[in-house]
Amino acid sequence: MPSDIDLTNDRPVYVIGGGPGGLAVAAALRAQGVRAVVLEKSEAVGASWRGHYDRLHLHTTRKLSALPGLPMPRSFGRWVSRADMVRYLEKYAEFHGLEIVTRVEVTGIERSADGESWLLHATGGRELTGSAVVVATGYNHAPRLPDWPGARSYGGELLHAGAYRDSRPYEGKDVLVVGAGNTGAEIAVDLVEGGAARVRLAIRTVPHIVRRSTLGWTAQRTGILVRRLPTRLVDRGGEILCKIAVPDLSAHGLPRPDTGLYSRVREGAIPVQDVGLIAAVREGKVEPVAAVESFDDNKVVLADGSRISPDAVIAATGYSRALEGLVGHLGVLDERGCPVVRGARTSERAPGMYFTGFTNPISGMLRELAMDAERIAKALKSQHLKSR
């Protein structure tokens, strides 16, 4: 390990969040000889992965999903399961000897009095001073449940997808899944396979559906190749490819999108990777319906005016970054609440503050986290050397 930076200094780089992004940055910093302390509000690393539904597997390949310095075991298979991902993160922290403090939640960050450091306010009245700070609290941080009229008086079960674990509680039940992103699509298929009596999928914006792999070539590798091509070109190519690889499901209530695939990605909407949705829709096991508008007298009112009475409603309606309370006062967020700059760049308003994991790239989030981590570590190393 390089020895030109004092690892015993009392102003380390604080990394907020013990998920893949935070652990990757901490490991990359350690490899550069920079002391990094990970602050994790839960009891263990990988908290969000521990809370995901059991069926979940990565939609990116094992080889392209490893974090810096530790490949994923071949025994995990091509598509890594949720449980194996948790095991990997635990091993990753142990392998790199990371300095992790759990059960500490950072509630606010501000410039220290000397203007050269960062002051972190944390649970228990803690005040921690760091030479730099990396915010890695995650893209999917706070569950977002729409404020549907009448929802609070709904007599059926209403839960966010973040609280869904498996299909067992819904065997023999009528379930409405709201939201046709990857999470909603996969939960719908899980419910069908788990014996739900009826599964409907409420769709506001028709998603692009792609095959996870075609003849051994993965959608992720395509995403990597086209990421920097002109949007119009990728849209056209995606349209042609989808017509070849994905059947027209219009007769089953799921028409082809009328917007380009990459145009939607630019807006933050990642294509749905098929893990059984196409077959389930074709066979009538998952029924696409209109978007949810409101709840009324224990019924769900859809955008087309129809009313249905499911036993349970599972809202796969996404997450928010929830950064406003933490750094909103620093002027580093855009109108959507996302960091203005990410990766190895820092805002002029907050030099020494880095953000990672706040995009959902078509090339694979874990791959981008790994690259971000090494860029951030090199930037911090360079900055430290300049200040010596």
* Domain assignment present for 3: no
Residues 360 and 377 in one domain: yes
Domain that holds residue 27: 13-141+321-387
* Domain assignment present for 6: no
Which of 261, 294, 315 terminates a domain? The answer is 315
Residues 249 and 342 in one domain: no
Residues 308 and 196 in one domain: yes
HEC profile of the chain: CCCCCCCCCCCCEEEECCCHHHHHHHHHHHHCCCCEEEEECCCCCCHHHHHCCCCCECCCCCCCCCECCECCCHHHCCCCEHHHHHHHHHHHHHHCCCEEEECCCEEEEEECCCCCCEEEEEHHHEEEEECEEEECCCCCCEECCCCCCCHHHCCCEEEEHHHCCCCHHHCCCEEEEECCCHHHHHHHHHHHHCCCCEEEEEECCCCCEEECEECCEEHHHHHHHHCCCCHHHHHHHHHHHHHHHCCCEHHHCECCCCCCHHHHHHCCCCCEEECCHHHHHHCCCEEEEECEEEEECCEEEECCCCEECCCEEEECCCEECCCHHHHHHHCCECCCCCECCCCCCCCCCCCCEEECCCCCCCCCHHHHHHHHHHHHHHHHHHHHHHHC
pTM for the structure as a whole: 0.91
Residues 82 and 165 in one domain: no
Residues 301 and 234 in one domain: yes
Q: What's the CATH code of the domain at 308?
A: 3.50.50.60
* Domain assignment present for 348: yes
Residues 305 and 333 in one domain: no
Residues 165 and 271 in one domain: yes
Residues 294 and 357 in one domain: no
Residues 291 and 184 in one domain: yes
What is the chain's pLDDT, residue by residue, as a tens digit (388 residues)? Answer: 333 333 345 689 999 999 999 999 999 999 999 999 999 999 999 999 999 999 999 999 999 999 999 999 999 999 999 999 999 999 999 999 999 999 999 999 999 988 889 999 999 999 999 999 999 998 888 899 999 999 999 999 999 999 999 999 999 999 999 999 999 999 999 999 999 999 999 999 999 999 999 888 999 999 999 988 999 999 999 999 889 999 999 999 999 999 999 999 888 888 999 999 999 999 999 999 999 999 998 899 999 999 999 999 999 999 988 999 999 999 999 998 999 999 999 999 999 999 999 988 889 999 999 999 999 999 998 876 555 4
Residues 148 and 291 in one domain: yes
- Total domains in the fold of the chain: 2
